[in-house]
Amino acid sequence: MIPVQVENLTIAYHHKPVLQEVSFEVPEGKLIGIIGPNGAGKSTLIKGVLGLIPTASGEVSIYGKTYNKQRKLVGYVPQRGSVDWDFPTNALDVVLMGRYGHIGWFKRPRKKDLVFAKECLDKVGMLEYGNRQISELSGGQQQRVFLARALAQDADVYFMDEPFVGVDAATEKAIIALLNELKAKGKTVLVVHHDLQTVKEYFDWVLLLNMRKIAFGPTKEIFTIENLQKTYGGKLTFLQDQSVLIEET
Ligand SMILES: Nc1ncnc2c1ncn2[C@@H]1O[C@H](COP(=O)(O)OP(=O)(O)OP(=O)(O)O)[C@@H](O)[C@H]1O
């Protein structure tokens, strides 16, 4: 079964297309990087797939059915900047929200949901912050709580929008270890990612995006200088050994 299939997806804001006729099929059990310059439509793609914004045309299916029918199978870590952190709730409750697909919105969480939510907080090193208001956490800590929420969903396919932004090097390592753990369990994880230096190390497959799909496939084949130039235009600096690339912003 194909975890995510996108066919001819077009999305426009105020009638101006920002994503045009994007098609790809995501294979199961892989870590996939979504790469492209600022404004390329990476977040828009994820939001479109998850039905959070209207699409102009195209089809999306999750394991062969519409997202609405498969919600429980999908976990989402939004971009940190897009979340209202002043919302009065503590870290454990944020993680418990990840369980509602399993509990049902109007029922109280069962003991085992609570235990599982705490396990997820522990996995991201945040157990001791369970009672802390999310507004009182640092950016990197907030990011980890959202990761714990996604883990609590116990989904089969995950979408993460820049999970490494604002986290320190140790946390980045811990997050990538978690993603690899998910992969080892056969889960599929799509990650919007900006650091070109780590793409080869982190991701099995990449989607290169700039309003349109530039290329999609195994990192070894797709993450080439030629494709990166197509994706970023001239905004790349090639270091001497040709293997290290830096995006100028
Ligand atoms: N709510 C909105 N209303 C109007 N235009 C929007 C909206 N959200 C995004 N856009 C525009 O759509 C385009 C794609 O934005 P998007 O956030 O998907 O890019 P991105 O690739 O995720 O960028 P970044 O790397 O900067 O996060 C941009 O030109 C952006 O200005």
Any atom of ligand 1 within 6 Å of the Cβ of 238: no
CA distance 192 to 36: 9
Per domain, the residue ranges of the chain are 1-63+157-167+189-248
Banded model confidence at residue 226, pLDDT cuts 50, 70, 90: confident
Any atom of ligand 1 within 6 Å of the Cβ of 34: no
Residue 209 alpha carbon to ligand 1 centre in Å: 13
Any atom of ligand 1 within 6 Å of the Cβ of 47: no
Banded model confidence at residue 244, pLDDT cuts 50, 70, 90: very low
pLDDT at 238: 59
Judge whether residue 241 has pLDDT over 60.
Answer: no
Q: Mean of the per-residue pLDDT values for the chain?
A: 88
CATH architecture assigned to 1-63+157-167+189-248: 3-Layer(aba) Sandwich (3.40)
Any atom of ligand 1 within 6 Å of the Cβ of 87: no
Instruction: Copy the structure tokens of residue 175.
Output: 């997050």
Say which residue, 100 or 6, is predicted with more confidence: 6
CA distance 24 to 35: 14
Judge whether residue 108 has pLDDT over 90.
Answer: no
- Structure pTM? 0.90
Q: Select from 38, 33, 66, 37 the least CA-distant residue to 51.
A: 66
Residue 166 alpha carbon to ligand 1 centre in Å: 19
CA distance 18 to 3: 24
